[in-house]
Amino acid sequence: MSKHIRKAVFPVAGLGTRFLPATKAMPKEMLTVVDRPVLQHVVEEAREAGIEHFIFVTGRNKGVIEDHFDIAYELEDTLRKRGKAKEYELLMSALPPPGATSFTRQQAPLGLGHAIWCARDIVGDEPFAVLLPDMVTMGTGPKKNRCLSQCMDAYNSYGGNIIAVEEVPKEDTDQYGIVSLGKDFGDTFEITGMVEKPPKGTAPSNLIISGRYILGPEIFDLLSKGKQGAGGEIQLTDSMIELAKMQSFHGVRFDGRTFDCGSKLGFLAANVAFALADPALASGFQNELRKIVGGF
């Protein structure tokens, strides 16, 4: 039986240059999709998938992330005293249990592989999940479960390493990690190769690595070599290519929608999709959208 996945790593050290000036003083992970930060959506996805310990790899100027996942004493006390039970409960239900969060810093922006390596001592010698906070997922399948939960199902069937994938138009493949397909089981398949940001026209498929991973702890030894790859960065994909020589990798075609909130278009689309999925907002928001699209 595969080992239970208890811990997840969230690399949140990125500068967010694509969202300046919004991200001048505020971490990009704190931008809101409807009523909660992008990062809270992703942490909720991890909780839903059974994750018990949340490891944030932060950087300078990211202190507010730590505050967001802690109690806010004065605020909570005021809500209680004013009888705002609903708002109070909303905060309490999102609060991780005591001792269930860890924070470490990536001191320099050396790449995703380096960020994950910074969490090695906190993860220890057990398989773990990685969730890239730019990617916000919405379960639209029959179970409405989000991407990491679907990865966990695949992990329970196959063990080894799991990567969620998503189709993109061929012309966009140079912006992502791309996988090659082996034996195909429909929702899942064997991964026979990976490449990070292949030059235009050379990608082995249009299936991108979409930001949810389950990895064995052996990845850390490979990452510790600190080899630079695409864009001069220490790439997670390069160490996964090495790990795939020793262990199995399966891909999961996520039954749902993924929004790349690292881009303005993806972020705006996420806001529209989540607002339309909220029963309290849906009809009013549809009216507003109709007015805007119809030219006011």
Judged by the rule CB under 6 A, the positions of this chain that interact with ligand G1P are 112, 132, 134-135, 176-177, 196, 208-211, 235-237
- Which among 181, 197, 296, 202 has a CA at the least distance from the CA of 250? 181
Compute the least distance from the CB of residue 64 to ligand G1P, in Å.
Answer: 22
Specify the residue, 79 or 213, whose C-beta has the smaller distance to ligand G1P.
213
221-225: long-range contacts, CB 8 A cutoff, minimum separation 24 = 223/113, 223/114, 223/116, 223/117, 223/120, 224/117, 224/120
Residue of minimal CB distance from ligand G1P?
177
**Of 79 and 222, CB closest to ligand G1P:** 222
Minimum distance of ligand G1P from residue 242's CB (angstroms): 15
List b or e across 149-184, with b for residues whose CB sees 16 or more CB atoms inside 10 angstroms. Answer: bbbbbbbeebbbbbbbbbebeeeebeebbbbbeeee
- Nearer to ligand G1P among residue 79 and residue 249 (C-beta): 249
Helices 38-48 and 264-276, axial angle in degrees (round to 10)? 60
Which is nearer to ligand G1P, 152 or 196 (by Cβ)? 196
Q: How far is the CB of 263 from ligand G1P (least distance, A)?
A: 9
Which residue's CB is nearer to ligand G1P, number 83 or number 169? 169
Minimum distance between the CB of residue 101 and ligand G1P, rounded to whole angstroms?
23
Nearer to ligand G1P among residue 173 and residue 271 (C-beta): 173
Cβ of residue 51: shortest distance to ligand G1P, in angstroms? Answer: 19
Of the candidates 11, 8, 12, the one whose C-alpha atom is nearest the C-alpha of residue 46 is 8
Shortest Å distance, C-beta 166 to ligand G1P: 9
Taken in order 150, 155, 158, 164, the sign of the CA dihedral is positive
